[in-house]
Amino acid sequence: MEKDQDKILNDVTSGEYKYGFYSDIEMEQIPKGLNEDTIRIISGKKSEPEWLLDFRLKAFRYWQTMKMPQWANLKIPPIDYQEIIYYAAPKQKVSPKSLDDIDPELKRTFDRLGIPLEEQKHLSGVAVDAVMDSVSVRTTFRETLAESGIIFCSFSDAVREYPDLVRKYLGTVVPYTDNYFASLNSAVFSDGSFCYIPRGVRCPMELSTYFRINAANTGQFERTLLIADEESYVSYLEGCTAPMRDENQLHAAIVEIIAENHAEVKYSTVQNWYPGDKEGKGGIFNFVTKRGLCRGDNSKISWTQVETGSAITWKYPSCILKGDNSTGEFYSVAVTNNFQQADTGTKMIHIGKNTKSTIVSKGISAGRGQNSYRGLVKVLKNATGARNFSQCDSLLLGDKCGAHTFPYLEVDNQSAIIEHEATTSKIGEDQIFYCNQRGISTEDAIGLIVNGYAREVINKLPMEFAVEAQKLLQISLEGSVG
Amino acid sequence: MLIIEDLKAAISGKLILKGISLEVKAGEIHAIMGPNGSGKSTLAAVLAGRDFAEVTNGTVTYMGKNLLEMAAENRSKEGIFLGFQYPIEIPGVSMVNFMKTALNEHRKHKGLEPLSASDFLKLMREKKGLVEIDSKLTSRSVNEGFSGGEKKKNEIFQMAILEPKLAILDETDSGLDIDALRIVANGVNMLKRPDNAAIVITHYQRLLDYIVPDVVHVLYDGRIVKTAGRELALELEEKGYEWIKDHVEEN
């Protein structure tokens, strides 16, 4: 068995990263480096109003007083912020109105990624905002959605076309002082998606943003702002990929969600940034702040994430349960293989009365991967009747990887009911043999067992993406037997 | 169908099987009996291709092929089925998904098209009746939360779906009440055909009241020390394993 295991472990990288190609697209870039001028240039390129430039500059000045956080269970090599290019955009007209205005190479790139920019070719019922490096290339179905009063566009367009809405909500969930990477993002963010679902509207299709890093030596700092007005519903999905490079690239994003009375937002992520090679060289540093505010009574925000990519993942999609009877959910599958590291989890802050939160975290470690769950459940003094259920499971494949769990509980109200369950298991040789004995190969057995383990989370994804996520799980673990 | 010659196998350097020879022909049912620790389960594991036991000597020929060179999943696809003494739980994997995957691997091996979901469900319904297994169980995860008896019935159910040429049942009767025992045995009997065979490993005689063996072997300390017809099982039941011990020491 030892010999077999070694052989199979060596085959780990046979699961090639499918999206590692680079597109030769004419780019407009600003010089590398970060100072107030950089920020003025970015703001100027987008012809932003004065208040937004002020917001950025305040964030930047604040960031300069901060230190990189060290508390995560991650080994992060030093990052030289002066060596990063903060703005890189495919050369094209600003927000092209027609497909003909888009560089054919760009169209080809997104076709290869399975994200056609032509509406008629796209998965039915899914609208996409396609972002490459620092800008949004195209948003599909914008007009169709507008018929129901839904605003779905790039962040830059939103600043131009709906400045009042953006100004009202920007930074209200994740303030620019929030944390090191959030402050950095607030200073230099370039694009992202904006979405507003008006009162009483059930969004008729899945909305999604597809992030692509293409240019070398750049960082991607996008920002997504999603507002669900009273009694509205939206399901939103993001995906992401990047070319294979030996250098690490920084991705520091912010997602802010606001749910008003009786509104419901489902936010799903299939994160497949380049994870680095089998020696741990290259890969994306994915340092992301995602937070939703259940501002209204009976509102609900649900995060689902399938994290298979990135060299290092540092993210904690969270819910602030401010409205009475509001609900927060976090469903996560995080895979670390080879030298990948992940420190991920959630924060559930119970403020309103009778608020409920559910946390289901499934970590999968293989190779030399290190996987940490870090989660905070906080119940404030006036949050009578708060309920939380947390389940944190870890699955280990092989004996060189690690799984860690860091649950934090802060409960200031006696009526709270908090449950926490945690398990750690190894894919057993006996499970694999049982499958073998029924005619199922070891590779397929692992796929079956891992997908069974992650099923609770995968089931939360929109159907089209659940199938994709299953395949992705299998590919990212190809060959890694324990 | 199966010819074992002077098979020796060790676990962590300790010799467990000390030279076993045995021939099973199509249409036969062989019972292997013996006290705890005699090597019964090791023999089953070696035949099924579990690699914790290292084969140090001997040959195993199955349908004219060298069995010991075949990967475990290929042994399965070539028609060897092991009914586990302790069936394994696989959380989150539904029985339907598990058995559909397994059956379609078998079909692929035979050059057949995979069975569609609806055809597979039809087949499952048909086989469920055979082992009187509760429909609730087949919609659950593999063996998860099953009682001991349910797990054993589930093994026979899987056997019914895969229709093996050679079934090896490793103490399928242990931990079963008399009703479950009857159901399991009926399942085995109904699957009996002139072109397939079974090796029934058991500690007790009582299973052999329901499954009538053609040949009974007694395994003791890694060797087959006695082979006879079904009357041997009864004699063993009456005289106990001490009798075998004395018998071995006499020789």
Q: What is the pLDDT of residue B36?
A: 85
| Banded pLDDT at A171 (limits 50, 70, 90) | very high
Q: Report the sign of the C-alpha dihedral through residues A249, A217, A44, A141, in that order.
A: negative
pLDDT value at residue A6: 40
Interface check A452 vs B, CB under 8 A: yes
- Rg of chain B taking only CA atoms, in angstroms: 18
Q: Does A78 touch chain B (CB under 8 A)?
A: no
Residues with Cβ within 8 Å of A194's Cβ and at least 6 positions away in sequence, in order, are A151, A152, A153, A154, A155, A157, A158, A162, A166, A224, A225, A226
Tell me if A441 and B91 make a contact (CB, 8 A cut-off). Answer: no
Query: Is pLDDT above 90 for A233?
Result: yes
Of B81, B84, B90, the CB nearest to A449: B90
Residue A31 contacts B, CB cutoff 8 Å: no
pLDDT confidence bin for A282, thresholds 50/70/90: confident
Among B149, B148, B121, B147, which residue's Cα sits nearest to residue B135? B121
Q: Do B99 and A448 touch (CB under 8 A)?
A: no
| Segment (H or E) for B106 | helix B95-109
A14-18 average pLDDT score = 59
Average pLDDT, rounded, for chain A: 86
Q: How confident is the model at residue B206 (pLDDT cuts 50, 70, 90)?
A: confident
Comparing CB atoms, the residue among B72, B75, B93 nearest residue A449 is: B93
Disruptive mutation site among A424, A438, A470, A473 for chain B (greatest number of B CBs within 10 Å): A438
- Split at pLDDT 50, 70, 90, the class of A1 is very low
* A92 interface with B at CB cutoff 8 Å: no
Our CA angle for A161, A166, A172, nearest 5°, is: 175
SS3 string, A74-136, reads CCCCCCCHHHCECCEEECCCCCCCCHHHCCHHHHHHHHHCCCCCCHHHCCCCEEEEEEECCEE
Question: Is residue A2 less than 8 Å (CB to CB) from chain B?
Answer: no
* Model confidence at A2: pLDDT above 50: no
Per the DSSP assignment, residues forming a β-bridge with A394 are A363, A424
pLDDT at A121: 54
Tell me the ipTM for this assembly. Answer: 0.95
Q: Is A49 within 8 Å of A348 (Cβ atoms)? A: no
Please give the Cα distance from A328 to B83 (Å, whole number): 45
Confidence (pLDDT) at A450: 87
Segment B119-176, tens digit of pLDDT: 998 999 888 877 778 777 777 899 998 988 889 889 999 999 999 999 999 988 877 8
Look at residue A482 in the predicted model and tell me its pLDDT: 41
How does residue A480 score in pLDDT terms, banded at 50, 70 and 90? low
Q: Do the chains contact at B76 and A436, CB–CB below 8 Å? A: yes
CA-closest candidate to residue A309, choices A330, A290, A337, A268? A337
pLDDT value for A115: 67
Q: How do residues B51-102 score in pLDDT, each as one tens digit?
A: 888 999 999 999 999 999 999 999 999 999 999 999 999 988 999 999 999 9
User: What digits encode the pLDDT tens for the residues A78-114?
Assistant: 999 999 889 888 776 555 556 666 777 777 777 776 6
Cβ contact B158–A435 (<8 Å): no
Report pLDDT for B20: 95
CA distances from A380 to A298, A301, A319, B91, B160 (A): 18, 19, 14, 36, 58
What pLDDT, on a 0 to 100 scale, did the predictor assign at position A89?
Answer: 81
CA dihedral B222, B62, B158, B112 (to 10 degrees): 160
What is the per-residue pLDDT for A201?
95
Residue range A235-248: mean pLDDT, rounded:
79
pLDDT at A16: 65
Dist. CA A246–CA A20, nearest whole Å: 11
pLDDT value at residue A8: 39
* Cβ–Cβ below 8 Å for B49 and A452: no
Report the pLDDT value the prediction gives residue A3, as an integer from 0 to 100.
Answer: 42
Region B205-224: mean pLDDT is: 90
A279 to chain B, any CB pair closer than 8 A? The answer is no
Domains of chain B, earliest start first = 2-250 (3.40.50.300)
Contact A452 B141 (CB under 8 A): yes
| Beta carbons of B90 and A456 less than 8 Å apart | no
> How close, in Å, is residue B30 to chain A by CA atoms?
21
Does position A479 have pLDDT exceeding 70, yes or no?
no
State yes or no: pLDDT of A179 exceeds 70.
yes
Contact A439 B90 (CB under 8 A): no
pLDDT at B177: 81
The answer on pLDDT for A305 being more than 60 is: yes
Q: What is the percentage of chain B residues whose pLDDT exceeds 70?
A: 100
pLDDT for the residue A118? 65
Q: What would the mean pLDDT of A170-177 be, rounded to a whole number?
A: 96
Amino acid at A411: V
Residue of B nearest to A443 (CA): B73
| Contact residues, chain B, for A441 at CB < 8 Å | 73, 105
Q: Which of B90, B95, B112 to mutate to test the interface with A (most CBs of A within 10 A)?
A: B90
Residue A20 has pLDDT above 80, yes or no: no
Q: Provide, rounded to the nearest whole percent, the portion of chain B with pLDDT above 90.
A: 58
Candidates A4, A440, A453; nearest CB to B73: A440
C-alpha to C-alpha distance for A258 and A197, rounded to whole angstroms: 10
Q: Which of B82, B92, B105 sits opposite A440 (nearest CB)?
A: B105
Work out the pLDDT band at A120, boundaries 50, 70, 90: low
What is the percent of chain A where pLDDT is above 70? 89
Q: According to the model, what pLDDT value does residue A97 have?
A: 58
Q: Which of A60-64, A298-302, B64-68, B93-97 has the lowest mean pLDDT?
A: B93-97
Q: How far apart are the first and last CA of chain A?
A: 10
Q: Give B-chain residues touching A440 at CB under 8 angstroms.
A: 73, 101-102, 105
For the cut 50, the answer to whether the pLDDT of residue A10 exceeds it is: no
How many Cβ atoms sit within 10 Å of the Cβ of residue A347? 20
Chain segment A184-217, per-residue pLDDT in tens: 999 999 888 899 999 999 998 888 888 777 777 7
pLDDT averaged over every residue in chain B: 90
pLDDT of residue A428: 79
Non-local (6+) Cβ contacts of A471 within 8 A are none
Contact B98 A433 (CB under 8 A): no
pLDDT-based confidence at A299, cuts 50/70/90? Answer: very high
